[in-house]
Amino acid sequence: MSLARRLGEVRERVTAAARRSGRRAEDVEMVAVGKGHPVSALREAFEAGQRTFGESRGQELKSKYGQFGDGSVEWHFVGPLQTNKVRIVRPRVTLIQSFDRDRLVTPWLKGAEETPPALMQINIGMEPQKRGVPPEQADRVFDRWEEAGVRLQGIMAIPPMGEDPEAGRPYFARMREIGDHLSVRARRPLILSMGMTDDFEAAIEEGSTMVRIGRAIFGTRPKVGQA
């Protein structure tokens, strides 16, 4: 199946899931995560109408941006950000989805007049191997980062992965609660970024407003992803 066709099918599934949750297709943004795939694949997706791309490694983002940094493409950073990669990532993205720890705050803000907006990553399954703010600290950390000057626009999570696409549902529901709560406190709508290839439909049904899809669009990753 061609990439354009796979992309079209994913879009249809996003639309159907959005409708099931009483929303429209436009209420759910789809980010195409092309990590490990060549720029030629991203170009194919672009030609099929995709405009927002996610990358999870600084050097790969830099290289793809250099080859495909067309002004009509937006880049999101979705992977673990090392402090020494901030200077590579910050000028190239319109959103960092993986702002995950206090220690990023100073390097992120340093030397920049205006920084791109960020999502606070939450370790919703409290998994030791995963990054993110513990759910019960969401309020406190959100406030702390916002006061420091991080432009927070929402939250993101990668829930525990099981065999069953339904396994993520309770975690998505919990994320929705945290998002709603933060949104009331912040007095503005917030992005809820959750849902990947194996579970994006359940995530949308539970209220996701942004899904990050890799394999369903680009196929299996040729290189092993570390993110």
Ligand X SMILES: *Cc1c(COP(=O)(O)O)cnc(C)c1O
What residues make contact with ligand X under the rule CB under 6 A? Answer: 33, 35, 56, 78-79, 158, 196-197, 212-215, 225, 227
Least CB distance to ligand X at residue 196 (A):
4
3-state secondary structure (DSSP) of residue 193:
strand
The residue (of 5 and 110) whose beta carbon lies closer to ligand X is 5
- One-letter amino acid of 141: V
Q: Shortest gap between Cβ of 77 and ligand X (angstroms)?
A: 9
**What phi-psi label fits residue 106: left (phi over 0), alpha (psi between -120 and 50 degrees) or beta?**
alpha
Please give the full DSSP string across 119-135, using - where no structure is assigned: EEEB-TT--TTS-SB-G
In angstroms, give the least distance from the CB of 98 to ligand X.
Answer: 6
**Rounded-to-integer distance, Cα 144 and Cα 98, Å:** 16
Residue whose Cβ sits closest to ligand X: 214
Query: How far is C-alpha 158 from the geometric centre of its chain's CA atoms?
Result: 9
Our CB check for ligand X shows the closer of 135 and 195 to be 195
- Taking the CA atoms of residue 220, residue 224, residue 225 and residue 226 in that order, the dihedral angle to the nearest 10 degrees is 160
Beta bridge partners of 156: 121, 193
In this structure, the number of other CB atoms found within 10 A of the CB of residue 227 comes to 16
Residue 82 vs 106, nearer CB to ligand X: 82
DSSP classification of residue 3: H
Looking at the Cβ atoms of 189 and 219, the one nearer to ligand X is: 219
CB of 216 to ligand X, least distance (A): 6
The least CB distance from residue 211 to ligand X, in Å, is 8
Nearer to ligand X, 41 or 227 (CB): 227
